[in-house]
Amino acid sequence: MSISASLVKELRERTGLGMMECKKALVETDGDVELAIENLRKSGQAKAAKKAGRIAAEGAVVAHIGEGIAVLVEINSETDFVARDDNFQKFANTVAERCLNLQIDNVAQLSEAKFAENEAATVEEARQALVQKIGENIQIRRIELLKGSVLGSYVHNQKIGVVVTLDGGNGDLAKDVAMHVAATNPMVVSPDQVSAAVLDKEREIFTDQARQSGKPDAVIEKMINGRLKKFLSEVSLVDQDFIKNPEQKVSDLLKAGSARVDSFIRFEVGEGIEKEEVDFAAEVAAVAR
């Protein structure tokens, strides 16, 4: 029978499983949601699904470089302890290898891919098995591929990962630039890449600040332009002081290596995820009542 999108949505909301798993379960039960949930519980998938709603804001960033292509992957767990577990580490590295080999940068597409060349299990099935084994919610959050002739990567304590591609230079220079990006988190490669919307917002803020000084309009305009120039130098990679040698600009480092930065990717574990604040004192008090 044809399975409606609303049925898949209902099962997904009730189990936390992926759309493909929900659709497959509903096909097997001719659209019977309750029977599908029962079957999923029997197979152990529902056990993993129960953990799917828990916030996973820890984890690891993994970078892998191949021939002319690199990948950056963020995989989340609930605790940093699990992120350092050997099983988690093996899973994360295998996922990164599969993304690189299959050139996949879409989590949904990756989930349906084989976890290993000679295995029947998919990446999603391997993830669910790991959830059951470790006992925490584990999610593949994002993947990004970067292509180029000269690639370099740097990962800091598994928490911040960067991949850089250069036009010219070599892998060592690309790695140095990646390390710098990890440390300073630039917004763009060069000032001309800052969007008009961002510039307008910063100009608005600087204008309000400058007017509070009570100085003449001509002076205020100079103050605004000066602050905008400073802002652009702070958020642009090439205008920053090189982290390993503050006496040198990144642009000078690149010039010395006969290179320029084409692009970069930077992932930081958990960025943008609203972490749950736990008030342990309140929890204890509530239990004691």
Q: Tell me which of 184 and 15 has the higher pLDDT.
A: 184
Pick the CATH number of 55-147 from 3.30.479.20, 3.40.50.970, 2.40.50.220, 3.40.640.10: 3.30.479.20
Identify the CATH class of 195-235: mainly alpha
pLDDT tens for residues 73-95? 999 998 889 899 999 999 999 99
Do the domains 195-235 and 5-50 match in fold?
A: no
pLDDT tens for residues 253-284? 999 999 999 999 999 998 887 665 545 455 44
Return the domain boundaries, the chain: 5-50, 55-147, 149-188+243-271, 195-235
For residue 125, is pLDDT > 60? yes
Q: What CATH homologous superfamily does 5-50 map to?
A: Ubiquitin-associated (UBA) domain (1.10.8.10)
Interval 220-237 mean pLDDT: 91
Pick the CATH number of 149-188+243-271 from 3.20.20.70, 1.10.540.10, 3.30.479.20, 3.20.20.10: 3.30.479.20
User: pLDDT over 90 for what percent of the chain?
Assistant: 60
Q: Tell me which of 36 and 90 has the higher pLDDT.
A: 90
Q: Do residues 72 and 267 make contact, with C-beta atoms less than 8 angstroms apart?
A: yes
**Range with the lowest mean pLDDT among 7-21, 54-68, 199-213, 247-261?**
7-21
